[in-house]
Structure 1
Amino acid sequence: MSRLARVLPRHAAVLVWVPVLLAAPALEVRSGPGPVVLALGLVALAATSCVVAVLKSWPCSSTVSTAAWVVLTVSVGIGSLAYDGWPPAWLLVAMTAGVTFRPAVALGAITLAVVLATSTLARGGASVEDVYSQAFVVALAGAAAATFSHLVATADALRRTRAQLVVAAVADERERFSRDLHDVLGHTLSVMVVKAQAVRRLVPTDPDAAAVHAADIEQIGRTALTQVRETVHAVRTLTLTEQLEAAHDALTAAGIRADVHTPTSSVDPAVGTPLAWALREGVTNVLRHSSASTCRIDLVRRGTSFELRVCDDGVGTPPPEHEGRIGGLDGLRSRLVAAGGELEVAPGPDGFSLTARVPAALDAATERSR
């Protein structure tokens, strides 16, 4: 949106009054060419300075807008002292101050306009009632213009904030879908590849075992279709118990000895879900990159947190992390951080390790944000 398109709605309450409030000073001078020219010059100067002050005041007052308001005030003051018909122009001075300056400065400027308006009117011999009426009208005009300008600016800010929230919501949903799809299919396809390799190895020597693995591939494929549908509809939830069993089966099928140690007590589902995602990613990396013969999975309670550690004795490492990458270790780290936890990945003395920590108790707000 252009600058002019933003300024005009906010300051329309002032700009529409420029010709109305300056019409009387322009029409009431009939004493000769000289006074008429001077009066029209003051009117033109007042109108121009008012428009400049208003248009240069967005998003806040500047040196130009402040100077223009001063010129407007001086021109109206000179006109009020030299001619009749200028009292309405003081409303324009107060209204311009209300939309040009910040609230604290605007209050002082409107007060100054009230003082000058009543002083010039009293100097011309006006009654006390007229002076009080002028003070009230000028102050009310300035306050009304400032309030209207503030309301329009607030409505504009709310519209822009709503548009930004829509964009952010779409981006968050796209990131969630990409991350879930990567984590779900990445693991499932890795298991299918491992089992397909087992089928190829066993066909010549043990057809019955190869048939069992082939049936597993079929079942995993059907499960993957269900997982994709659940991911699309944002209802995919992992359980730690199921994932521990799946990790053991996948590692065994790949010829990797699985050594799993878990606590005797149950883990709360709110805590188990982020740990299940961590286990899934850790086992996927072992299958893809480690060339390991053994994988140890430890789940322990340490103080107020649960710690899951996946450690292999291989030589492979996960793919390098990239800033802004969706899925993989970056996506897992985002899940754990949203749950109040943390992720550590590092080569250990006997291989590569992935460690995920999650607080033992997650509140409802944290779980919903995950």
Structure 2
Amino acid sequence: MTATDTTDPRTHCGDPYMSGRGEWAGIALGMAWLIIPILDTIGSRQTPARAVLTVVLFAVAASAYLFAIPGASGAQSRWRVYASIAAMTAAGVVLTLVVASSWAILFTYVCVLAGIHLPPRQAGPILLASVALAIAINLHEGTGVAFSWGASAFGLGALMLALGRLIQANASLREAHAQIRELAVEAERERFARDLHDLLGHSLSVITLKAELAGRLLPARPDEAQRHVRELEAVAREALGEVRETVSGYRRPTLAGELAGARMALGAAGIEMRVRERHPRDELPADVEALLAWAVREGTTNVIRHSGAHRCEIAIEPRDGGTSAEINDDGSGIDSAAARTNRDVNGAGGNGLDGLRERAAQLAGCVEAGARPEGGFRLRVVVPLPPAPGEAA
């Protein structure tokens, strides 16, 4: 943690389990149960002093509940949780003993706060103490619902404790995935640097040697120097071709990788994905497979960014003597089709549908994109396959 990070690593408070409208909906739903003791208090005859006390302590309890919720950054310190629990417990004790027994519901909120925001070793004692306190106070008041309050507080607290553990596990898993991605990128950079070094080290050494030799021979033996210059040019062109081939290999996607990436991306967007493969991948030439992989990437990107779809189907199957990749969704159809012809989809440097058409044209293939009659959008890439060795004759 940095010096400015106040998040306790042993709490759940730094986990983004709620955000935006979901957060406020959860807060409103949680505080809605306070209407029970409020109505009970209004229905009973309270002295002015008790009425003022009720308003003040209710404000304290509500503020404590909100105070324990992480801020916009998701960061939360443990002392804020303890302060909120202490304030709500004190308010609950006084309101239950002085105003109405129904205010024992505040002990349920204490259990919920402890269960969500604290790890089990710290939440467990608070949970048991709050339940015992709720039961003891209601037994003292002779309300007859002591154990009901205790059971509800314990049940909700245990549920929130389990939820907090789940949130913490999900956050740890996300962090682990992020670290794995960073390590994978770093390993790829190292491998790329190593391959370029191995590839260019010899060629650049030869180029340097021949350039120096040609420079020495030029005054006395220009014909021999010219021969070394021609050889130098040949070595340089060969090295350039090897670099281009290497870079092209690094940029070439695979169907397996793009389908896996599409499943992850669509799932994260809440879009159901179905895959139908009727053309074995091992029968596809590398450049054809790369084109279909680009189609899957472009199609799923557009589905996520522009369609508003709930379902997406990807089909890899033989078509017209060749093979095809087809991406269908049930999104906004014509509006989506119009959106997907805009420049923000096409991008720069050969990306988007224009780039896909260029890649397909290099293999004598074609790209079809448009609204489906039954609704939604279709992207289809069809590419011919080269004849098998036995058919070439």
Separation in 2, partners of 1:178, 1:86? 67
Question: Secondary structure of the equivalent of 1:54?
Answer: coil
Query: Does 1:31 pair with 2:45?
Result: yes
- List per-residue Cα deviations over 1:247-295 (Å, max 9, x = no partner): xxxxxxxxxxxxxxxxxxxxxxxxxxxxxxxxxxxxxxxxxxxxxxxxx
Of 90, 106, 110 in structure 2, the residue corresponding to residue 93 of structure 1 is: 110
Shift of 1:46: 1.1
> Within the alignment, does 1:67 sit opposite 2:67 as a pair?
no
The structure 1 residue matched to 2:66, chosen from 43, 47, 51, is: 51
Give the TM-score, by structure 2 length: 0.49
Give, as a single letter, the amino acid of the residue that structure 2 aligns with 1:92: Y
Shift of 1:113: 0.9
1:120 correspondence with 2:137: yes
- Report the alpha carbon displacement of residue 159 of structure 1 after superposing the two structures with TM: 3.5
Q: After superposition, what is the alpha-carbon deviation per residue over 1:228-260, rounded to whole angstroms, capped at 9, x for unaligned?
A: 13432568xxxxxxxxxxxxxxxxxxxxxxxxx
Residue pair 1:28, 1:84 contacting (<8 A) in 2 also: no
Amino acid at match of 2:27: L
Read off the aligned partner of 1:191 and give its amino acid letter: V
Q: Which amino acid aligns with 2:142?
A: G
Letter paired with 1:50: Y
% identical aligned pairs: 31
Verify the 8 A CA contact 1:69 1:97 in the aligned structure 2.
Answer: yes
Shift of 1:24: 1.8
| Higher RCO structure, 1 or 2 (CA under 8 Å, sep 6+) | 1
Q: Secondary structure at the match of 2:101?
A: coil
User: Per the alignment, in what secondary structure is the counterpart of residue 9 of structure 1?
Assistant: coil
Mapped contact 2:88–2:106 kept (Cα < 8 A): no
Partner of 1:304: none
CA distance in 1, matches of 2:59, 2:208: 83
- TM-score of the aligned structures, taking structure 1 as reference length: 0.52
| CA displacement, residues 274-323 of structure 1 (integer Å, 9 cap, x when unaligned) | xxxxxxxxxxxxxxxxxxxxxxxxxxxxxxxxxxxxxxxxxxxxxxxxxx
Structure 1 contact 18–47 (Cα < 8 Å) conserved: no
Q: After superposing the two structures, state which structure 1 stretch, 91-100 or 177-186, moved more.
A: 177-186
SS in 2 for 1:86: helix
Measured on the aligned residues, the alpha-carbon RMSD in Å equals 3.6
Query: Residue 203 of structure 1 contacts residue 210 of structure 1 at CA under 8 Å; is this kept in 2?
Result: yes
Residue 41 (structure 1) shift = 2.0
Instruction: Tell me by how many angstroms 1:70 deviates.
Output: 1.0
Indicate the residue corresponding to 1:286 in structure 2: none
CA distance in 1, matches of 2:103, 2:26: 17
Letter in 2 for 1:99: I
Distance 1:16 1:9 in 2: 13
Question: Which residue matches 1:22?
Answer: 34
> What does 1:274-285 align with in structure 2 at a 5 Å threshold?
none
CA contact (8 A) 1:25 1:43 kept: no
Alpha-carbon shift at residue 180 of structure 1 (Å): 3.7
Query: How far off its partner does 1:66 sit?
Result: 1.1
Unaligned runs of 5+ in 1: 236-370
Distance in 1 separating the partners of 2:120 and 2:138: 27
Shift in Å, 1:165 = 4.2
Per-residue deviation, 1:158? 3.5
* Equivalent residue pairs, number: 231
Distance 1:204 1:76 in 2: 101
Partner of 1:272: none
Aligned-residue offset at 1:140: 1.3
Q: Which amino acid aligns with 1:26?
A: I
Check 1:207–1:64 CA distance in 2 against 1; reply closer, same or farther (3 A cut).
Answer: closer
For the residues of structure 2 that align with 1:50 and 1:90, how far apart are their CA atoms? 12
Assess, with a 3 A threshold, how the Cα gap between structure 1 residues 212 and 65 changes in structure 2: closer, same or farther.
Answer: same
Q: Is the 8 A contact 2:93 2:104 kept in 1?
A: no
**What is the alpha-carbon distance in structure 2 between the residues aligned to residue 207 and residue 106 of structure 1?**
88
Q: Does structure 2 retain, via aligned residues, the 8 Å contact 1:9–1:152?
A: no
In structure 2, the partner of 1:217 is 232
Q: Is 2:18 the partner of 1:9?
A: yes
Secondary structure of 1:88's match? helix
- Please give the alpha-carbon distance, in whole angstroms, between the structure 2 residues aligned to 1:5 and 1:28: 36
Partner Cα separation in structure 1 for residue 14 and residue 169 of structure 2: 15
Instruction: Give 1:198 shift.
Output: 2.5
**Unaligned segments of structure 2, at least 5 residues:** 1-6, 8-12, 251-393
Residues in 1 aligned to 2:189 and 2:33: alpha-carbon distance in whole angstroms: 55
Residue by residue over 1:15-48, the C-alpha shift from the partner in whole angstroms, topping out at 9 and shown as x without a partner, is: 3444223222222123133322222222211111
